[in-house]
Amino acid sequence: MKINGFFSAMMLFSAVISGSCKKDISTQGGQPLQSSEWLVPGDNAPVWQNKNIDGIGPAQVLEITDPAITPELIKNSVVLVYGNLGGYPAAIRQPGKVELMRLLVSYIRGNNPRTDVWSGMPVAGKMLIMLTNPDNEYDPYGNALGHTFRYFFVPKYDPNTAGKKPTEGASTLLAKYSEDDLRNMTYEQFCEAAGVKK
C-alpha cells in the first residue's frame, strides 16, 4: 500500500509539473528535441501582462512557466520561437502564416504608423513571449484572439567536426543543419526535418 501511495503521489506531482507547459518531445536517438505545444493565451497559456523587462523595457508579456528550461538547456540549444499572429486583420497580416520570431508587423493606427515587435526569450524556468512598440500600447491587436506560439530547443552540434558529427546526445535528424540553416527554414520545413507534427 505504501508503494502504491508513493507512485500515486509521484504521478500527481508529475501532472502538476507538466501541466504548466505540455511538452512535445521527439527523441531521435540521443538528447531530445524539446518543444511546447501550440500555446494559446488565456487557454493553455497564461493571459497577457504588462511588465518591464530588464534590457527591453515596457512590454506586453506572455510568461510561460516551464521547469525544463534551465540555463544549461538554453546554453546548449538553438532556441526557435514561432508565432502565428492570427489576431491581426488579413489586410495587415496573412492569416495562418507561421514565422520565426523576431517578427515586425507594421500598420497604420489612426493617422500614425506603428510597428509591433514580437519576440521570444527563454529564461530559467520560463519562456517569455513579448510584444513591444514605440507607443507602449497593445490594443487593439496585442490582446486579440488568434495569436498562438510554439517554441523548440534544438540540441547544438559543432559543424566543424569531421563528418559534421553531432555533439554527444544531439538529435540525429537535425545534426546536419547549422544554426543558420535552422533559422532560415520555414516552419513547415523545420517540422519536416525534425520529424514533428506541425
pLDDT tens digit string along 140-155? 899 899 999 999 999 8
Residue 16 in any domain: the answer is: no
Number of helices followed by number of strands (H, E) in the chain: 4, 10
Retrieve residue 22's grid coordinates: 505540455
The tally of domains found in the chain comes to 1
Residue 14 in any domain: the answer is: no
What is the predicted pLDDT for the residue at 172?
59
What is the predicted pLDDT for the residue at 92?
95
Q: Is the dihedral of CA 83, 88, 89, 93 positive or negative?
A: negative
- Per the model's pLDDT, the better-predicted residue between 34 and 186 turns out to be 186
pLDDT tens digit string along 16-46? 333 344 444 443 334 578 899 999 999 999 9
What are the residues whose beta carbons fall under 8 Å from the beta carbon of 157, sequence distance 6 or more? Answer: 164, 165, 166, 167, 170, 175
Q: How many CB atoms lie within 10 A of CB 79?
A: 16
Instruction: Tell me which long-range contacts 158-167 makes (C-beta under 8 A, separation of at least 24).
Output: 166/30, 167/76
Name the pTM for this structure: 0.80
What average pLDDT does the structure give for the chain?
Answer: 81
What is the predicted pLDDT for the residue at 3?
41
How deeply is 153 buried, as exposed, middle or buried, from its count of CB atoms within 10 A (0-12, 13-18, 19+)? buried
Domain that holds residue 113: 22-194
What is the predicted pLDDT for the residue at 109?
86
Give the closest residue to 152 by CA, choosing from 198, 110, 106, 112.
Answer: 198
What is the predicted pLDDT for the residue at 177?
85
